[in-house]
Amino acid sequence: MKLLYNTIKTVFFVALSSTLLWSCTKLDVDVKSEITPDNFPKTQEDFIALTGPAYTYLSSSAYVIDQILVQELSGDGAIITANGGNWYDGARYKQLHLHMVDGDHRFIGEMWTTWFNGISKINSIMPLLANSEQSEFKKTTIAEMRTLRAFYYFLLMDNFGGVPIITDFGPSVQLKSQDSREDVFNFIEKEVNESIPDLRENKDISTYSKTTKWMAYALLAKLYINSEVYTGIKRYDDAVKACDMIIQHATTAGDIGLDNNYLKMFDIDNGPQIKDFLFAIPCDAYQTTHYPARYWLHAALRQKYSLPFNPSGSMKVIPEYYDKFLNSPGDIRTNIFLTGKQYYYNGNPVTINTTNSGLDNSYSGPNPSAPVVYQLEFTRNIVFRDLATFETGNDQLGLAIGYRVNKFRADSTSTTRNQNNDLPVFRYADILLTKAEALLRGAAPTMGHTPVALANMVRQRANATLYTTISLDELLDERARELAYEGWRRNDLIRFAKFEDNWGVKTNTDIRKRIFPIPNPQIVLNPLLHQNPSY
């Protein structure tokens, strides 16, 4: 499936490039064969070729790496520590954990730049679409671009608060200050609602990774469930309405639902066949920077997973987050974790040949160079040897500190450190939990649903013990289990007023850290921007 998707995309770009080359080398060519605003885009293939680049910003590292790490490392589930200075990286991971980032943080800057580049690309495309001949596919394509642009604005609004709303392109565009967060919210809502009637409903390989009607309703559900955070106004009934549009379709069609195998959804061969994925980012080992194994896995696991590189991961599970899974007996989602002593698939232990001092550099005995065969064992607690440098040690005991995660299964088919696992952005399970939350928060019940029944749909798929009652705190824990490390934890913690809680070694309770600083280089480029409070 994924190969076909990438092949189709490549063919369109090759075809477009060939047309341009022909125009440059055949000086006597008829003018009608040149690409001009009068004759391009016309065909469905033209529209796909024109709009394809607008999606590429999602497959860049800004979402698959930056967005995910920023959301998860600022939350209560994961932490990246240093090992002998490796992975310190100018304290960027420490700053995220401690809620102490500044306007020069690399990941923050890359997110801002990439999402606005995506918006700018769409703004440049829109006049060509508007001036093309009337057709159904023209209406659909314009709706897709408006929805994608709204999604980029959602990412900006969620991370930075108020940002400039820009819909024009070219030298006439003037620098401007931020619009309010409420104005950005209203812009997103308007763009999506006006686009939905023209968006496609089919969910198959032709619409996979595109902005469909179901992606749009999922975006609205996220917008409305967070409305009180973004605007101060509760919109829980509207969140239910958006969820119901997807749920109603799922009850009558066979293309949206909860796949039977939770773990398989995140394997290297996932793709359009996954019913749970409402919107996903296609990843492959050659075009997309996506390497969760590098971040999570110990180097000694290379042979077990037949990896073409030595993973150097220093990303670890915060113990209390792991404990949320222990409170869910029988839950297959617990299998994403690597804990305790490690073994190969044949049952043999994963061992490391080292020395007494290589195992533990605090060794003070008489034989520091004596050989030791150490069985790799991931320990629960994260112990810092030097908190100032976020150091947990570069000996074998230090490198094994902290439980690890293999949710996006390590990819033995890749010849690079990148992986073929597609990354879901919106999922049907999230929609069910979002509706359950909205009902718990006071929305009027619909379709005979209760919060318990909706949450149990998700838990039943996970083979977990079913709820008899459920509270908001329990629902937040359920979201932690179902959506672990998919990039929604910061968003959830803020909405549940938990972002200021203590976890790991983080103690910052400043509510103003719920949004990130405007990147300093952007303020230099546009002096009309004003820095967010507390930065």
42-89: pLDDT as tens digits:
888 988 999 999 999 998 889 999 999 999 999 999 999 999 999 999
Whether residues 202 and 261 fall in one domain: yes
The structure tokens listed for 125 are 């495309």
Residues 6 or more apart in contact with residue 282 via CB below 8 angstroms: 2, 5, 6, 59, 208, 209, 271, 288, 422
In one letter, which amino acid is 498? Answer: K
**Among 117, 122, 114, CA closest to 141:** 122
Q: How many angstroms separate the most distant Cα atoms in the chain?
A: 87
Confidence band of 111 (pLDDT split at 50, 70, 90):
very high
For range 138-149, the mean pLDDT = 97
In one letter, which amino acid is 341? Answer: K
In the block, residue with structure tokens 């010849």: 415
437 within some domain:
yes
Domain boundary (405, 433, 467) is at 405
CA 338 from chain centre, in angstroms, equals: 22
The pLDDT value recorded for residue 27 is: 38
In this predicted model, what pLDDT tens digit does every residue of 288-345 receive, in sequence order?
889 999 999 999 999 999 999 999 889 999 999 999 999 888 999 999 999 999 999 9
Domain boundary (355, 375, 405) is at 405
Return d(Cα 214, Cα 64) in angstroms, integer: 21
Whether residues 72 and 13 fall in one domain: yes
Whether residues 271 and 307 fall in one domain: no
In the block, residue with structure tokens 């952007």: 522
The pLDDT value recorded for residue 32 is: 45
Confidence band of 474 (pLDDT split at 50, 70, 90):
very high
The structure tokens listed for 500 are 């200021």
The pLDDT value recorded for residue 31 is: 43
- Look at residue 373 and give its three-state secondary structure: strand
Confidence band of 37 (pLDDT split at 50, 70, 90):
low
Asked if 507 and 90 count as a contact pair (C-beta separation under 8 A), the reply is: no
For range 105-117, the mean pLDDT = 97
Is pLDDT of 22 > 50?
A: no
Is pLDDT of 2 > 70?
A: no
Whether residues 318 and 460 fall in one domain: no
222 within some domain:
yes
CA 140 from chain centre, in angstroms, equals: 26
Phi then psi for residue 357, to 5 deg, are -75, -25
Return d(Cα 425, Cα 204) in angstroms, integer: 16
Q: How many C-beta atoms surround the C-beta of residue 408 within 10 A?
A: 26
Instruction: Tell me the whole-structure pTM to 2 decimals.
Output: 0.93
Instruction: Identify the residue with better confidence: 176 or 18.
Output: 176
The pLDDT value recorded for residue 41 is: 86
Whether residues 319 and 386 fall in one domain: yes
Whether residues 308 and 209 fall in one domain: no
Long-range contacts of 47-51 (CB under 8 A, 24+ apart): 47/129, 47/137, 47/138, 47/141, 48/12, 49/12, 49/13, 49/15, 49/16, 50/125, 50/128, 50/129, 50/141, 51/125, 51/129, 51/141, 51/144, 51/145
The pLDDT value recorded for residue 471 is: 98
The structure tokens listed for 12 are 């369109």
For range 440-455, the mean pLDDT = 98
Is pLDDT of 455 > 90?
A: yes
The pLDDT value recorded for residue 171 is: 87
413 within some domain:
no
The pLDDT value recorded for residue 18 is: 34
For range 16-44, the mean pLDDT = 51
Confidence band of 346 (pLDDT split at 50, 70, 90):
very high
The pLDDT value recorded for residue 502 is: 97
The pLDDT value recorded for residue 43 is: 87
The pLDDT value recorded for residue 167 is: 97
Whether residues 195 and 246 fall in one domain: yes
Asked if 481 and 330 count as a contact pair (C-beta separation under 8 A), the reply is: no
Domain boundary (405, 436, 451) is at 405
The structure tokens listed for 163 are 């940002």
Asked if 331 and 478 count as a contact pair (C-beta separation under 8 A), the reply is: no
Whether residues 44 and 114 fall in one domain: yes
Is pLDDT of 8 > 50?
A: no
Is pLDDT of 25 > 60?
A: no
CA 148 from chain centre, in angstroms, equals: 15
Planar angle of CA 92, 299, 348, nearest 5 degrees: 145
State the average pLDDT for the chain: 93
124 within some domain:
yes
> With pLDDT > 90 as the criterion, what percentage of the chain qualifies?
88
In this predicted model, what pLDDT tens digit does every residue of 115-137 receive, in sequence order?
999 999 999 999 999 999 999 99
Instruction: Identify the residue with better confidence: 286 or 265.
Output: 265
Instruction: Name the helix (H) or strand (E) containing 355.
Output: strand 351-355
In this predicted model, what pLDDT tens digit does every residue of 424-439 receive, in sequence order?
999 999 999 999 999 9
Residues 6 or more apart in contact with residue 324 via CB below 8 angstroms: 477, 480, 481
Asked if 161 and 179 count as a contact pair (C-beta separation under 8 A), the reply is: no
For range 162-175, the mean pLDDT = 94
Whether residues 488 and 397 fall in one domain: no
Return d(Cα 256, Cα 121) in angstroms, integer: 31
Planar angle of CA 94, 97, 101, nearest 5 degrees: 70
Confidence band of 524 (pLDDT split at 50, 70, 90):
very high
Phi then psi for residue 396, to 5 deg, are -65, -35
Return d(Cα 96, Cα 79) in angstroms, integer: 9
Whether residues 395 and 466 fall in one domain: no
The pLDDT value recorded for residue 329 is: 84
Confidence band of 36 (pLDDT split at 50, 70, 90):
low
Print the domain residue range for 9: 2-288+421-525
* 141: CATH: 1.25.40.390
8 within some domain:
yes
Asked if 333 and 478 count as a contact pair (C-beta separation under 8 A), the reply is: no
339 within some domain:
yes
Count of structural domains within the chain: 2
Is pLDDT of 155 > 80?
A: yes
Whether residues 320 and 171 fall in one domain: no
Whether residues 226 and 253 fall in one domain: yes
480 within some domain:
yes
